[in-house]
């Protein structure tokens, strides 16, 4: 409901539930004027609509249009706020989803890397354990295994030198 100050004509939107039927004291937020307001006091003379053929008298309050506009403004404001909240939530969901996808891709990469490293270490341990039987079956494998183990020792020394 829109209430107009009787002193400075400033208009304010007030919830109609806050004003009882007997009225209440209201203070203008702009000029600080205090007056007693009743809901019925805001209704004015009935409007007369003229038709070409007939004159129709309607008992419609002057403020009906303002009240309807106020309700529409309140509804549209609420819808805009809800829409903004919805958009903000969607943006946050999109950002969260994008972050989750990035984290997921990174975690998948590190998972594969970890599996590769564990498998490689397991293969080296297996080759070292079964070195003698493998050399007996494949005589040319002795030089390859020797070079592999020497390369691993060099990599170990390189990593130690980095730290």
Q: Which residue matches tokens 């004003």?
A: 19
Are 133 and 120 members of one domain? yes
- CA angle (140, 121, 131) in 5-degree steps: 30
Are 138 and 156 members of one domain? yes
Residue 117 has pLDDT above 90, yes or no: yes
What is 131-151 written as a DSSP string?
HHHHHHH-TTHHHHHHHHHHH
Are 5 and 36 members of one domain? yes
Give the residue from 110, 133, 152 where a domain finishes: 110
Are 51 and 106 members of one domain? yes
Are 125 and 138 members of one domain? yes
Are 20 and 71 members of one domain? no
Count of domains observed in the chain = 3
Give the residue from 110, 125, 147 where a domain finishes: 110
Helices 64-129 and 141-162, interaxial angle, to 10°? 130
Q: For residue 108, how many C-alpha atoms fall within 13 Å in the half-sphere facing its CB? A: 6
- How far is the C-alpha of 148 from the C-alpha of 55, rounded, in Å? 108
According to the model, what pLDDT value does residue 20 have? 82
Give the residue from 110, 132, 154 where a domain finishes: 110
Boundaries of domain holding 150: 111-162
- Give the pTM: 0.37
Q: pLDDT tens digits, residue range 51-66?
A: 555 444 444 544 555 5
- How far is the C-alpha of 66 from the C-alpha of 71, rounded, in Å? 9
**φ, ψ for residue 77, nearest 5 deg:** -65, -45
According to the model, what pLDDT value does residue 13 have? 82
């Amino acid at each position: 409901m829109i209430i107009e100050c009787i002193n400075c004509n400033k208009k304010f939107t007030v919830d109609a539930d806050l004003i009882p039927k007997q009225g209440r004291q209201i203070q203008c937020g702009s000029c600080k004027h205090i007056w007693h307001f009743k809901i019925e006091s805001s209704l004015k003379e009935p409007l007369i609509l003229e038709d070409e053929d007939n004159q129709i008298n309607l008992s419609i309050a002057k403020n009906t249009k303002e009240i309807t506009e106020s309700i529409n403004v309140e509804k549209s404001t609420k819808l805009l706020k809800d829409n903004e909240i919805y958009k903000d939530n969607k943006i946050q969901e999109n950002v969260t989803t994008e972050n989750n996808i990035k984290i997921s891709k990174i975690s998948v990469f590190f998972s594969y890397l970890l599996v590769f490293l564990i498998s490689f270490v397991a293969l080296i341990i297996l080759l070292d354990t079964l070195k003698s039987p493998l050399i007996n079956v494949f005589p040319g494998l002795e030089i390859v295994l020797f070079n592999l183990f020497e390369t691993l020792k060099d990599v170990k020394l390189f990593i130690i030198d980095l730290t």
